[in-house]
Copies of this chain bind each other. A is one copy, B any other.
Amino acid sequence: MKEIIAGLNKNFENRVRLGIMSALMVNDVLDFNALKELLGVTDGNLASHLKALEKHELILVSKRFIGRKPNTTYEATEYGRLAFKKHLTALEQLLGNT
């Protein structure tokens, strides 16, 4: 079981981060409001977890304007996709053991 625990990525432990990554595996690009709507979390909570994932280069953040309104979009990096898949594999192994 040691190896399974070690295979779980601390960056994805939090349930909001699990939700963000899961959403960005299925959708190539999502903006802040779409993620907020999907996950049902507050602005502050979502923003802090997005920042943490960006800091670890697991997601890519793009800022642009639509007309005069700022629009920020998020996508998983290649590294983030691989890391998340590894995390899911470890989770599946843990679930399979239980």
Contact = CB atoms under 8 A, between A and B. Distances in A.
Given A10-B15, A14-B13, A98 B5 contact: no
A50 to B, nearest CB: 15
The majority secondary structure among interface residues of chain A is helix
A1 B18 CA distance: 11
Interface string A7-28: 0101001111011001101100
Given A91-B91, A98-B88, A1 B14 contact: no
Q: How many copies does the complex hold?
A: 2
Contacts of A91: 91, 95
A14 B12 CA distance: 10
Nearest to A84: B98
Interface of A: 1-2, 4-6, 8, 10, 13-16, 18-19, 22-23, 25-26, 38-41, 88, 91-92, 94-95, 97-98
